[in-house]
Amino acid sequence: MRLKFIEPLMPTLVEQPPEGDAWSHEVKFDGYRSQMIIDEDGTRIYTRRGLDWTTKYRDIMAASAELGAESAIIDGEIVVLNEAGLSDFAALRKAITRRQHDLYFVAFDLLHLNGHDLRDMALEERREILASMIPPDIRIQFSQPLPGDPKAIFHLIDEAGLEGMVSKRRDSKYRSGRSTAWLKIKSYMVEEYDLLGVEREPGKPAFALMADRKTGQYVGSAFINSSRPIRERLWKRAQEHAGPAPKGMKRPATQWVKPGLIGRVKHLRGEEDLRHASLQDFREE
């Protein structure tokens, strides 16, 4: 029987990891969420949105034969590990087109096995079966649970420069779509960006519009929650450095600025564009 893609369960973003023994915790990998389907037609690998990307992952497909499953649906993440052993999103994009042998599939859930739908089983039982299927030293790896106190785990993850962690209810069933049975807690980092302009509308929060310092590409906006003196100094500098709008950008409430103002922005780690970002300070080049 040809198995169909199942819409993935999506974790809910929270600020703090949940406490208590009802939860297990894993590293949040910085890669492409993917679903591996094994059936009589061979192995297929789909993106989070159900696009068939099998041809991009030939080495991982070959490794799937070592799982010994007649049929299976496995939820996981395609990653590339850097020299420090951390998942590296920038390297992942290059590897997909040029270096397939650097790709790994990190498996963290099992939805179907040999004709049986496992989604109504408890997460912990599904993961026990999954762990037992994966032999050592292949391109498919099991996402190991992290032992210890959740806050201590998150502190170590943050210190190591990882994207964050995912906490999952041990007894939870697998249900497609957004769920509070899985919670993701993400680390923050601070980086410098070019300031393109300041968006201010009466009665609304002010935002700094930021661009990547290497490419000049717009990457998103950062909430200006800095101290009042920084806000006032920023607005003064923005007016003094007033410039034209970048090509293709239309935002009527924005004071655009000439190049030369650099913002320090705190934002979620492991995102392509700025998310949950705030401007901490700025300087002139």
Q: Could you list the active site residues?
A: 28
- The lowest-confidence range among 134-138, 182-186, 268-272 is 268-272
Reference 172, options 258, 111, 115; nearest CA is 111
Do residues 186 and 164 make contact, with C-beta atoms less than 8 angstroms apart?
Answer: yes
pLDDT tens digits, residue range 199-252?
988 888 889 999 999 998 999 999 997 678 888 888 888 888 888 888 888 887
pLDDT(84) > 70: no
pLDDT at 8: 98
Give all domains of the chain, ordered by start, each with its CATH number.
Answer: 9-186 (3.30.470.30), 188-284 (2.40.50.140)
Beta-carbon contacts of residue 171 (< 8 Å; ≥ 6 apart): 22, 122, 123, 124
114: left (phi over 0), alpha (psi -120 to 50) or beta: left
- The lowest-confidence range among 4-18, 84-98, 125-139, 171-185 is 84-98
pLDDT(54) > 70: yes
Average pLDDT, the chain: 91
Indicate the pLDDT class of residue 107, thresholds 50, 70 and 90: very high
pLDDT at 12: 95
Q: What percent of the chain has pLDDT over 70?
A: 99
Do residues 88 and 81 make contact, with C-beta atoms less than 8 angstroms apart?
Answer: yes
Q: Which helix (H) or strand (E) element contains residue 109?
A: strand 103-113
pLDDT(124) > 90: yes
Burial class (CB in 10 A: 0-12, 13-18, 19+), 101: exposed
pLDDT at 226: 66
Do residues 36 and 67 make contact, with C-beta atoms less than 8 angstroms apart?
Answer: no
pLDDT at 190: 87
Q: Which two tokens stand for residue 20?
A: 């208590």
pLDDT tens digits, residue range 12-21?
999 899 999 9
Indicate the pLDDT class of residue 131, thresholds 50, 70 and 90: very high
